[in-house]
Structure 1
């Protein structure tokens, strides 16, 4: 599913290829797309409006309009934005099409999602602020530090993986990057937050920043569904070390990667390098991301 690096990549594509275009007409093609309003109202607030910016907050893709409103998209599991042309026009699983103005030579921006879980709404400035108000800090912000993490969740007996997936704790981390982050930090996904040492909080904060930055550099992770605006897969899947690598050799210690449910989510880790009892085990697995 699109996590911070994938949404960041799509946002940058929109800035390069679409910002400045007039949305001549918007068509909602799936009734479940729009939340908090009607499809007709959504179409009206997008149509005959110019796209003046694109932003990301956590996993939210925000398209700014010249009216002062913003179209906010949550791509969930399989949402894809595709620019036609140059991409061949998609025929299936369509949820939205934005017909761009004549100055864009008939280009259209399609939203496709075979899972049908993508959701969108148009918000004014106040509504957008309220929508985003409970999100945790961005991982690359000055606010996000090891001390912040320790103060926010360090007293809790909850498992560390569900905590870093909580968007109120830190914005943008999903299941793929969480597994890679915990492997890099040498933390078992079931470790209780209140057992982490100061050094482990430092390693965790560093691993969150490093792994998300690598995902952005590699233009996202395509395990199955993710594509960028020009229908290209990401490259970060070629740099994953544990996610969906169950049974493979651990690159840190030579043991075997396992897959287990943690907090209801499939989780991948090395039991030797990421000891549940917190003792040091295996090799130093903080391998440099290529």
Structure 2
């Protein structure tokens, strides 16, 4: 699932490979893709405009247009943007095609069909992004900021990390790696974390996301960059989907459980469940 590092990689690829291109025609091939403003208007507002840049906010990919609008994509679980050529034209699961000048095309492919798209003006885009939490690499995001936002809550820490209103861009893969790096059990209540643990958590968020960007994203299953290349960070994961394997720190067995309804991977020895829980059993998968 594209999280912050994957969307950041795609954004950088678009800036390098697509910025400056003119969209000659747009074709929507799957009716569920367009959430705003309606398929016909969506296509009309894309045709004839020039792509001026790309940026990211949380997991939102924002393709900037010279009309003042922006094409905003949420790639969800399996969304891919592929530039043809040099990539071979995809034959299946295509949801959108942008026909660019120079006989190039940008294909949006998603075999899960969960990707969603909007064309928004500046005011609509600002409203869309208003509720997102701080960017992990921004100056406003600190251990103190994180503690102030959720430190008094009795909610489990992993679902809070996944809440895009708390901090933007973190998904299931990086949440597991972050919590392992911080040595915090995924079911710890936020109000039980110490100051030192908040500091470790903040540092682990930045470290793990930066590593994901450096390795051009994590390809566990579907993620590809704009040139259809897999990421490399999957080779550096320490606990995610490593259940049953030795912990890279202590040699104990990595466990898997459901936390907040999400498959979760952790080391019970390195991430002890300190203090009494709420009585709910931790059922291993």
Give the shorter-chain TM-score range.
over 0.9
User: Does the residue aligned with 2:9 lie in a helix, a strand or coil?
Assistant: helix
Q: Where does residue 155 of structure 2 map in the other structure? A: 158
Q: Match for 1:206 among 203, 208, 218?
A: 203
Q: 1:187–1:278: 8 Å Cα contact kept in structure 2?
A: no
Q: Where does residue 98 of structure 2 map in the other structure? A: 98
Using the size of structure 2 for normalisation, the TM-score is 0.96
Over 3 Å counting, the alpha-carbon distance change for 1:13 and 1:271 in structure 2 is same
Q: Shift of the alpha carbon at 1:37?
A: 2.4
Q: Shift of the alpha carbon at 1:111?
A: 0.2
Q: Give the unaligned 5+ runs of structure 1.
A: 280-290
Q: Tell me the distance in 2 between the aligned counterparts of 1:92 and 1:268.
A: 33
Q: Where does residue 139 of structure 2 map in the other structure? A: 142
Q: Match for 2:219 among 219, 222, 226?
A: 222
> What does residue range 1-290 of structure 1 map to in structure 2 within 5 Å?
1-101=1-101, 104=102, 106-277=103-274
Q: Shift of the alpha carbon at 1:278?
A: 5.9
User: Does the residue aligned with 2:35 lie in a helix, a strand or coil?
Assistant: coil
User: Does the residue aligned with 1:49 lie in a helix, a strand or coil?
Assistant: coil
Q: 1:78–1:225: 8 Å Cα contact kept in structure 2?
A: yes
Q: Shift of the alpha carbon at 1:277?
A: 1.1
Q: Quote the RMSD (CA, aligned, Å).
A: 0.9
Structure 1 residue runs of 4 or more that deviate by more than 6 Å after TM superposition:
none
Q: 2:36–2:42: 8 Å Cα contact kept in structure 1?
A: no
Q: Where does residue 288 of structure 1 map in the other structure? A: none
What whole-Å deviation, never above 9, does each CA across 1:58-88 have from its counterpart, x for those lacking one?
0000001000000100000000000000000
Q: Tell me the distance in 2 between the aligned counterparts of 1:94 and 1:36.
A: 19
Q: Shift of the alpha carbon at 1:36?
A: 2.7
Q: Tell me the distance in 1 between the aligned counterparts of 2:31 and 2:149.
A: 39
Q: 2:29–2:95: 8 Å Cα contact kept in structure 1?
A: yes
Using the size of structure 1 for normalisation, the TM-score is 0.94
What whole-Å deviation, never above 9, does each CA across 1:71-115 have from its counterpart, x for those lacking one?
1000000000000000000000000000001xx2x0100000000
Q: Give the unaligned 5+ runs of structure 2.
A: 277-285
Q: 1:62–1:70: 8 Å Cα contact kept in structure 2?
A: yes
